[in-house]
Amino acid sequence: MAIEAAPECARRRAILPSVDWAAVPPEKVASMLDTFEQAGVRCPGWLAKAVLIAGHDITERLELPAHLRVLQRVNRFARSGEGGAEIDPLVAALMDDDTIEADVVAAIAKRLLESRPSDVARKLALAHAHRTHDLQRLAAPHLQDSVRELPAVRLRLTGFSTTQLFGDPLTLAFAAAGWQGSISQAEYGTAFTELSNPTQEHDAVILVSDLAGFAPLDWRNPPEEEAQRLNERVDLLGSALTAFAERSQAPLLINTIPCASAPGAGLLDGWHATGIRHIIEQINRRIFEVAAASANVIAVDSDIALAELPVARYVDHKLWYYGRMAYSADATRALARAFAHAWQLLRGGPIKVLAIDFDNTLWGGVYGDDGVERLQCGHDFPGNAFRALQQECLRLRSQGILLVALSKNNEDAMTVFERHPEMVLKRTDFAATSVNWNPKPQNIRQLAAELNVGLDSFLFIDDSPQERDAMRRACPEVRVPEMPADPAERPHWLRRQVATWPVRLTGEDGARQSYYAAARSATEWKASASNHADFLRGLEQKLVVSPLDASTVARIAQMHQRTNQFNLTTLRSTEAEIAAVAADGASGLVLHGRVSDRFGDHGIVITAVSDISGSDAVLRSFLMSCRVIGREVERAFLGEVLKSLASRGVSRVFGSYIPTAKNALVRNFYKSCGFAEVEGGDGAASRWVFEISGTEFPGSPFVKIAQEQ
Amino acid sequence: MDVEITARVPSYPEIAVIFDDVFQYTEPLTASTSPSDVDRWDSLQHIALVQAIETTFGIKLSMDEMMEIQSVGDIERILRRYGV
């Protein structure tokens, strides 16, 4: 009956909210949804959610938010076994998104673990285990399976109060962060002893601090006396932390005292001797001072760690009186996660590169459709939210993270940064750009090669769920967080991305930007140098020539695929072909050169592949990245190649020039390097030979040959 | 007056799930099941038990109730008091 009256019941929120949907047969649920459709009433979200959590596979015609659609797919799979392959990437999107309702995540994880216990299901439960008791319960039984392959970390756990309840949440949080943590608990109340006797048996010491445990206040004493006692205790903590930092190999992770929900001095709380906030700030200031002075002490900010919880729920007071547990279960899970994040950052560091989409990410609107003038970015709503995100990007840049543009646009979209007056970011803030219509996964791989960093060092932000999904599928190493759809949420959201948090800032971090902007700086500097020779001399170029190895073959193949201008034969050799030439040292030689100059490292930019047959050798390919064209690097490198061939008993080296639409630049390259023409001529393919007779090799006074480290 | 409810399965099936989770205890429960029957039911796991009860039933127990729980029957009585 309720089913026939469903639209009316839903409107009045009557009966339906209390139905146990798991006990309702699927056909009844289907007929209820039909009644909504017939009545022309939209099935309300709360009802769809309840039905989905109960495990029903409801019609796809319903408009559902993304996370509920995932649950719907999972339900379908659990019931019929259909669509399994599609589930993993869908679930991957939910991994680090704490804005998804915990009960929906729990339902997805539970059903997946029951019907299809895969890595991704376990990972989902683990990634959300810090959120609720239910999710922690779901993840815990799969812990062993989840951590089997992970690196081990031995943790020592101590604190000013009882730390026992931190054990399980810490193990889960470390597993979620990619570590197999084993925990040894210090005796109750021995934090100071632990600090003064660091052992070598642990990889990290975790000190859980809390106010009541650290500074039991006794108001039988006059406030001034208590203030004095507190000072002494804070001094003791400061010197104990410093002493630990000096003696211990392992780092110490200590959380700050979180803010209190009840004052000790009412409106005077922030400054009076009896004020709780005043006391907390004194303690925290000391913790921060030590952390600033020693790389070995990491201050984990509890207020940031607990930001998603109401302050009044940090403590479960009965647990404090029962067993001196300073934090509620919710707060314990959140702090455990913050410790695990701190360890992970300490070990892996933050990301190195932020890859940023343009349209509707850095500015509101679409450049190709709207033109420069109508793009939203400025001081007014909603452009101010985009502008604020640009500011966050600049902040990250100042902290050593490289910004790269990764946008599907015509190349001239880069001019927006100069042509739109309100853009905070400028073209020169980007260490590299990939603005074209190629798939973003393909572009990000090229950017990684160009910047010489791994894909796992990238964080990719894009407003398009399709682009994020494509990136996750093609480049699972790249971190692709779900970005809020509302631009207003994004600056704050980006600040909360743990992967961007600096661990330690040094002069290097600011300087790194200029290293990577090497090519660009050099170009600008060239304009100011009085002549080309001065420019080249001042560059202080170094060339390191090395033979091919397993770690460089991909880059060499990629150069063969991509290089058009400085490419003598434009042979598009594959990784396997190049490896095959290098495999037999007697019949082949593959060399490559890495160039650095006063502006930074350019990475591997030049390569030559030669076939050797007795005393003759043929340069099958010779090519160089356009980033270093016009610096005589090619002359120096060719000289090294010839010397290397000579040392293998080669006396004649042949080279060819095969013209294409783009390589006219190198038509006379061999000639300029002392090769003699064998055949060929104007506009056609030509063949050249270099007779190795004495010590005369091409070279450049502006390129220093450095030995490989 | 409390009705004597010994030797009867608990009227809340969730309790058995909690005992499995918290204590890995899978024997049949009765109202008199107490720490002397359940190996892992020590003072520390008692907290985990209380937290599991609170989150499962959406209630918040007091310090007194925390002390009051010495058997499955105590848990049932408290739940009834909360109108769960």
A318 Cα to chain B: minimum distance (Å): 5
Examine domains A150-348 and A522-706 and report if their fold is the same.
no
Summarize the confidence of residues A449-466 as an average pLDDT. Answer: 92
> Which superfamily does CATH assign the domain made up of A522-706 to?
Gcn5-related N-acetyltransferase (GNAT) (3.40.630.30)
Contact criterion met (CB < 8 Å) for B47 and A132: no
Nearest Cβ partner for A323 among B21, B47, B61: B47
Summarize the confidence of residues A383-410 as an average pLDDT. Answer: 95
- Quote the tokens at residue A370: 């709207």
Higher per-residue pLDDT: A119 or A254: A254
Q: How many CA atoms lie within 13 A of A608 on its CB side?
A: 29
- Residue written as token pair 């895969």: A118
Whether A253 shows a pLDDT value over 80: the answer reads: yes
A369-515: CATH topology is: Rossmann fold (3.40.50)
Predicted pLDDT of residue A706: 83
Contact criterion met (CB < 8 Å) for B61 and A132: no
> Which superfamily does CATH assign the domain made up of A150-348 to?
SGNH hydrolase (3.40.50.1110)
For the sheet with A588-597, list strands across it: A676-679, A686-691, A652-657, A616-624, A600-613, A588-597, A541-547, A703-706
B13-81: CATH topology is: 1.10.1200
Contact criterion met (CB < 8 Å) for A132 and B63: no
The 3-state DSSP class for residue A304 equals helix
Model pLDDT for residues A134-180, shown as the tens digit of each residue: 899 899 989 998 898 999 999 999 999 999 999 999 999 999 999 99
Nearest Cβ partner for A165 among B47, B61, B66: B47
Q: Is A137 on the interface with B (CB under 8 A)?
A: yes
Q: Which helix (H) or strand (E) holds A246?
A: helix A223-247
ipTM for the assembly: 0.85
Q: Is A319 on the interface with B (CB under 8 A)?
A: yes
A188 Cα to chain B: minimum distance (Å): 13
Whether B59 shows a pLDDT value over 60: the answer reads: yes
Whether A22 shows a pLDDT value over 60: the answer reads: yes
Residues of A in contact with B62 (CB under 8 A): 318
Predicted pLDDT of residue A295: 85
In percent, the amount of chain A with pLDDT more than 90 equals 64
Model pTM score: 0.74
Residues of A in contact with B44 (CB under 8 A): 164-165, 323
Residues of B in contact with A132 (CB under 8 A): 55
CA nearest neighbour of A653 among A661, A665, A644: A644
Q: Is A47 on the interface with B (CB under 8 A)?
A: no
Whether A344 shows a pLDDT value over 70: the answer reads: yes
DSSP A44: P
Nearest Cβ partner for A318 among B44, B52, B66: B66
Bond before A382 cis per omega within 30 degrees: yes
Q: Is A662 on the interface with B (CB under 8 A)?
A: no
- Quote the tokens at residue A573: 């050799």
CA–CA distance, A71 with A284 (Å, rounded to integer): 43
Predicted pLDDT of residue A588: 92
Q: Is B20 on the interface with A (CB under 8 A)?
A: no
What are the residue ranges spanned by the domains of chain A?
Answer: 6-142, 150-348, 369-515, 522-706
Whether A708 shows a pLDDT value over 70: the answer reads: no
Residues of B in contact with A137 (CB under 8 A): 21
Q: How far is CA B43 from CA A159, A165, A170, A186, B7, in A?
A: 19, 12, 20, 18, 25
CA–CA distance, A102 with A108 (Å, rounded to integer): 10
Nearest CA in chain B to A328: B51
What are the residue ranges spanned by the domains of chain B?
Answer: 13-81
Task: Write the single-letter amino acid at A60.
Answer: E
Q: Is B52 on the interface with A (CB under 8 A)?
A: yes
CA nearest neighbour of A170 among A210, A204, A145, A124: A204
CA nearest neighbour of B47 among B22, B80, B20: B22
